[in-house]
A and B are shown apart, each in its own frame.
Chain A
Amino acid sequence: MISMNADTLTNAAEILPQIQGYVYPNERTLHPLWSVLIVVYPYVTGLVAGAFIMASLVRVLNVKALEPIYRLALLTALAFMLCATLPLLFHLGHPERCFEIMMTPHFSSPMAMFGFVYAWYLMAVLLLELWFDYRRDFVEWSKTESGLRGMIYRAFTLGVTDLSEPALRLDARMGRIISVVGIPSAFLLHGYVGFIFGSIKANPWWGNVLMPIIFILSAVVSGMALCVFTYMFLCWARRVTTDMRCLDLMASFLFYALIIDATVEGLDWLHRLYSAEEGIDVLRSLASGKLFYTLLIGQAMIGTLVPLLALGSLQLARKWVSEVNRRRMYFCASALILLGVLAMRWNVVIGGQLFSKSLRGFMSYKMEFAGHEGWWLSLALLILPFIILTVLIKYFLALDLPTIENVVPGAMPHPHPMETHSQAG
């Protein structure tokens, strides 16, 4: 039984205004321990994993129609990857001790293992894959470009300038192998983030075996939506025609990923309601109260149902919808999905801290505006990857860079995305 009126026992003045019912004395804080920064962290990590999976579809499953976004997806993953640990770092009580996570890790801790998974993913997967993919271009570009650009390209060849056929074949093979290794790594990366929450049995909202799976699936969905979003934005910014075949296919993948994600998340709720364990009353009141707007409206309606209907109807009636309208719908759907997944991260991270572990009361969260855990910093941390991505695109996806004419047999052909389309368009 949850008693919501503990203030009938004592003077209401003794209880903070943002607290309802009974919460443990140590839970009576002004802000939850893990604030909005910890919402940004799984969101950004998820985008990395999802964007990488999108890129892997080209390499591993050989989906030729998605080639135009291959490099864009990889660069997107890199830009977000570079920012993934920043929110965590800002949040630590002792950021100067952060390297202890890597130096003296505690192997039973999900957070410690995340450090290694992150390092593995960044160093062994993402950077290596990009390097093998770009090496030939770096060599070519370092010959034609001068100044800072030329120096950057020359440095990135790492001195390996061999462009013989066997060397290029090896590049392609290595790229494929890394992609194959990269898919489970991407799952591992975000599954682990899910496990950080799913492993907390003390919290009925978090401690759940489905949590890592839900995190992986929502990561794939958000990453794919991000690829659609950045690709369309880039085409718009460069005033080139989007490749509709590529876009339609991306939207199909996004639709099916969203169906699986929504199903598993629905299953999670169904299971919780049906098994009706100890904390179900609290979770119910959370969903209908403090999380109503972010969970039911934001995550379920705007972030899932509307995009599902939009993308689903286009699966059935693509022929009858004009390209312009399709583009608009894809853009809106991907933007809504991105917002919906952000809402989902909020619901998990903040929602799990809005009720007492005594299951007898609720806390509130009023976000700070400034401050090191406020609006501004989290917004900055969400914008920073886009700034990095812009720089990356400027240097590694520029329109004025020469493209490869003769494709080596067996190697991955990389027609320059924007240029090919502008010709096609």
Chain B
Amino acid sequence: MSENINRRNVLKNLAGIVGGILAVAAGRTCKAAVQNVFANAAAPKGYDPTKHKWLMALDVDRCIGCGLCVEACKAENSVPQNNFRTWIERYVVTRPKADSGESRGETFVDSPNGGMGGFKPSLIPKEDILKSFFVPKLCNQCENSPCSQVCPVGATFESPDGVVLVDKNYCIGCGFCIQACPYGCRFLNPETHTADKCTMCYHRITRGLRPACVEICPSQARIFGDLKNPIPDDPIQQFIENKKSQGLKPHLGTKPRVRYAGLDEEVR
């Protein structure tokens, strides 16, 4: 064996190879970071995400459970048949048994086909029902979003305008974000094999339009606005001023950017 092939040189070469691989990795990380700043998913040219802060609010007392929002969302975003970017839950709380000393009976929840096409009358007899209400659900666009925290490649990220987005050309389809979402808002798109979720109709809001679900809601249960660019009689400002609101599952510290007014403790 020649003199210059010794352990020191072999180790040196191995270290060189490892260093090279790491350098490539670092280079590509930088490239991806730069791309993240400049690429704006479905936004038009000239849209600056740092100049907006979107907020969605839901007034539970106003929702009539018609399911038009689910339908509009499906049509607008080509959502696969068995998946939902938004859906409506019906809560039925029964009366407590006589002399039980309880304030309420059992709570039943359902969302047949995500509430699309509305709800059939409940099979629980009317006289047994204490109260019933509808709760629209969608991605909570969390400020501390667990989904983007766990994405191994950074394909899902928090845009500066407050929307959590997924780059479907980059997602590896591991499903980690779907597991990490506490609200069941994400799904693996069976066509693209990547994670999918509500984008607040990013292609619309970045062009000055409202999300499809907000646009179609007949009872104004869904309210949407830009906190950085308030308009006269801004519905979102009025909601913030007049309603007491909260996010879902506040104990998880996800800080949702979707606010609910009139929420019952049974809603999770």
| A interface residues with partner B (beta carbon < 8 Å) | 1, 3, 5-6, 8-11, 14-15, 22-29, 33-34, 88, 91-95, 97-98, 100-106, 108-112, 115, 123, 158-162, 167, 170, 196, 199-203, 206, 278, 352-353, 356-360
Closest to A91 in B: B174
> Knowing A3-B106, A10-B123, A92-B174 touch, does A109 contact B28 (C-beta < 8 A)?
no
Inter-chain pairs besides A3-B109, A25-B111, A92-B172, 6 sampled, C-beta below 8 Å: A3-B108, A26-B187, A109-B151, A111-B152, A123-B18, A358-B109
Question: CA–CA, A278 to B204, complex, Å?
Answer: 38
Q: Which of these, A26, A98, A101, A360, contacts B109 with CB under 8 Å?
A: A360
B176 near A201 (CB under 8 angstroms)? no
A-contacting residues, B92-113, CB 8 Å:
92, 106-113
User: B49 at the A/B interface (Cβ < 8 Å)?
Assistant: no
A-contacting residues, B1-45, CB 8 Å:
1, 5-7, 10, 18, 24-25, 28-29, 31-32
B105-125 vs A, CB cutoff 8 Å, 1 = contact: the mask equals 011111111100001101110
The 8 closest A-B pairs by CB, nearest first: A93-B173, A24-B184, A93-B193, A202-B182, A106-B154, A159-B5, A112-B152, A111-B152
B184 near A6 (CB under 8 angstroms)? no
> 17 A-B Cβ contacts within 8 A?
A10-B123, A24-B183, A25-B184, A26-B178, A26-B184, A91-B175, A97-B170, A100-B153, A101-B153, A104-B29, A104-B153, A108-B150, A110-B150, A111-B152, A167-B7, A200-B180, A360-B268
- Closest chain-B Cβ to A415's Cβ sits at a distance in Å of 25
Q: Please indicate the chain B residues that have their CB under 8 angstroms from the CB of A34 in the complex.
A: 175, 179
Q: Please indicate the chain A residues that have their CB under 8 angstroms from the CB of B174 in the complex.
A: 88, 91-93, 111
User: B219 at the A/B interface (Cβ < 8 Å)?
Assistant: no
A10 near B110 (CB under 8 angstroms)? yes
B161-192 vs A, CB cutoff 8 Å, 1 = contact: the mask equals 00000000011111110111111111110001
B25 near A102 (CB under 8 angstroms)? yes
- Closest chain-A Cβ to B136's Cβ sits at a distance in Å of 12
B109 near A201 (CB under 8 angstroms)? no
Q: Please indicate the chain A residues that have their CB under 8 angstroms from the CB of B266 in the complex.
A: 1
Q: Please indicate the chain A residues that have their CB under 8 angstroms from the CB of B5 in the complex.
A: 159-160
Closest to A12 in B: B123
- Closest chain-A Cβ to B193's Cβ sits at a distance in Å of 3
- Closest chain-B Cβ to A22's Cβ sits at a distance in Å of 4
Question: CA–CA, A9 to B149, complex, Å?
Answer: 37
- Closest chain-A Cβ to B157's Cβ sits at a distance in Å of 9
- Closest chain-A Cβ to B236's Cβ sits at a distance in Å of 26
B109 near A115 (CB under 8 angstroms)? no
> Knowing A10-B120, A94-B194 touch, does A111 contact B182 (C-beta < 8 A)?
no
User: B87 at the A/B interface (Cβ < 8 Å)?
Assistant: yes
A93 near B109 (CB under 8 angstroms)? no
Closest to A13 in B: B112
User: B54 at the A/B interface (Cβ < 8 Å)?
Assistant: no
User: B82 at the A/B interface (Cβ < 8 Å)?
Assistant: yes
Q: Which of these, B83, B87, B172, contacts A94 with CB under 8 Å?
A: B172
User: B90 at the A/B interface (Cβ < 8 Å)?
Assistant: yes
Q: Please indicate the chain A residues that have their CB under 8 angstroms from the CB of B184 in the complex.
A: 23-27, 356-358
Q: Please indicate the chain B residues that have their CB under 8 angstroms from the CB of A201 in the complex.
A: 146, 182, 252
User: B84 at the A/B interface (Cβ < 8 Å)?
Assistant: yes
- Closest chain-A Cβ to B82's Cβ sits at a distance in Å of 7
| Best-buried of A1, A10, A11, A360 by chain B (most CB within 10 Å) | A10
- Closest chain-B Cβ to A370's Cβ sits at a distance in Å of 19
Question: CA–CA, A28 to B7, complex, Å?
Answer: 58
A8 near B124 (CB under 8 angstroms)? yes
Question: CA–CA, A102 to B124, complex, Å?
Answer: 54
Question: CA–CA, A11 to B113, complex, Å?
Answer: 12
Question: CA–CA, A110 to B150, complex, Å?
Answer: 7
> Knowing A111-B152, A357-B183 touch, does A10 contact B24 (C-beta < 8 A)?
no
